[in-house]
Amino acid sequence: MGVAHDHHPLTITGDRNLDAACATVTGEIARTDSKASLLLAFDGAVLAGLASVADKDLPVFTKAVGALAVLTLAAAAVLLLLVVRPCLTVPGRPAPGTFPQWAHLEENELQEAMDQDHRPARIKALSTLAVRKFRRLALAVDVILAALALLTAAAIGALV
């Protein structure tokens, strides 16, 4: 059954707002994935650099704090991987109007679904995903900053 659209100015504005909201939240998800990918590359480069000094004769303090930094960077990597990990359900079921839902529909059900306006449900589901990604991304940045502080302490310990 289709959704009737009168072309009242508020309906047109509402349609534009729904379209804009869908585009905005989809863009925000892409931004978090891009940022997480860059941070994963940074994290990996720092870990590779640390691996190159792992066999060096360093003071015990430097090795201990460096080991904590490695564990912290590993935790950040896990958080970043969770940001970029595909998530097809919110919470626990495919969001209406999205390809995960469409994959479970029979052809006739898919046609019915195409006749309905699922944008509000899609915006809600994608916004939930975006917020989850942003929170993990922010936490990963905080964890990386903590690792960098530990690395600074380890470097100072090596100089003393």
Least confident range of 19-23, 53-57, 88-92: 88-92
The pLDDT assigned to 1 comes to 45
The pLDDT assigned to 94 comes to 82
pLDDT at 18 over 60: yes
Rounded Cα distance, 137 and 146, in Å: 14
Task: For 109-118, write each residue's pLDDT tens digit.
Answer: 999 989 999 9
Structure-token match 């891009």, residue found: 34
The pLDDT assigned to 96 comes to 78
Top-confidence residue, 63 or 11:
63
Sign of CA dihedral 38, 44, 47, 51: negative
Task: For 126-157, write each residue's pLDDT tens digit.
Answer: 899 999 999 999 999 999 999 999 999 999 99
Q: Would you say 153 and 65 are in contact if contact means Cβ atoms under 8 Å apart?
A: yes
The pLDDT assigned to 10 comes to 55
**Neighbouring residues of 39: CB distance < 8 A, sequence distance ≥ 6:** 76, 80, 137, 140, 141, 144
Q: Which residues of 2-28 are buried (b: 16+ CB within 10 A; e: fewer)?
A: eeeeeeeeeeeeeeeebeebbeebeeb
pLDDT at 95 over 60: yes
Element (H, E) at 107: helix 107-114
Domain segments of the chain as ranges: 9-159
Task: For 26-83, write each residue's pLDDT tens digit.
Answer: 999 999 999 999 999 999 999 999 999 888 899 999 999 999 999 999 999 999 999 9
Q: Would you say 66 and 151 are in contact if contact means Cβ atoms under 8 Å apart?
A: yes
